[in-house]
Amino acid sequence: MSAHESMERAEHAEHASGVNKKIALLIAVIALCLALSETLGKGAQTESISKNVEASNLWAFFQAKSIRRTTVQTAAEQAKLSLGAAGDDAAKAALQKQIDDWQKTAARYRSEPETGEGAEQLSARARHAEEERDLATAKYHHFELASAAFQIGIVLASATIITGMIVLAWVSGLLTLAGIAMTALGVFSPHLLHLH
């Protein structure tokens, strides 16, 4: 091997080493973005599950209140029918008091703003939990797509080192930008794109 050939090989190896360092830095940046999107995605997934459980519990509580209200209203209506058959005034007064109590209870089961546990309040709280669940789910879908873009970007950047095809690094960079855009949409505007 001539001195000239040795010099060319050394220059080529030095150039390849510089390119490989840049590709390694690109991979490190993409891995950082991947870690961020995965963390955000896990948080959004946990929030979505939590809000789904909360909404389910609130709807179950709503149904229980509705059943109780219907039962009490039915008892009050039945007692009204018996009111005319009551013999003396004391019995009528006692029955009327019971009817009034049942009607108050039924009204409280319908709406109880002080505790937030009336059927109307429970329904509103359940809808709010569903909205929060849907928001977290939308975020999660964006973060998952971002993670996929970052993972593919890492693979392509790694392939650049092996094959020397710089175009793969460019595609990896474009996928990284797409992943960053999806992450930003997930954080700031998750309902802009409908991904489900």
DSSP symbols for 90-138: HHHHHHHHHHHHHHHHHHHHH--TTTT-SHHHHHHHHHHHHHHHHHHHH
Is the residue at 80 inside a domain?
yes
Instruction: Please name which of 178, 180, 181, 174 lies closest in space to residue 157, comparing C-alpha atoms.
Output: 174
3-state secondary structure of 62: helix
User: pLDDT tens digit string along 116-137?
Assistant: 999 999 999 999 999 999 999 9
Does the pLDDT at position 168 exceed 80?
yes
Q: Which domain holds residue 158?
A: 26-188
pLDDT at 92: 85
Q: How many domains does the chain have?
A: 1
Structure tokens at 82: 């018996």
Does the pLDDT at position 186 exceed 90?
yes
pLDDT at 2: 67
Is the residue at 6 inside a domain?
no
Widest distance between CA atoms in the chain: 127
Is the residue at 71 inside a domain?
yes
Predicted TM-score of the model (pTM): 0.81
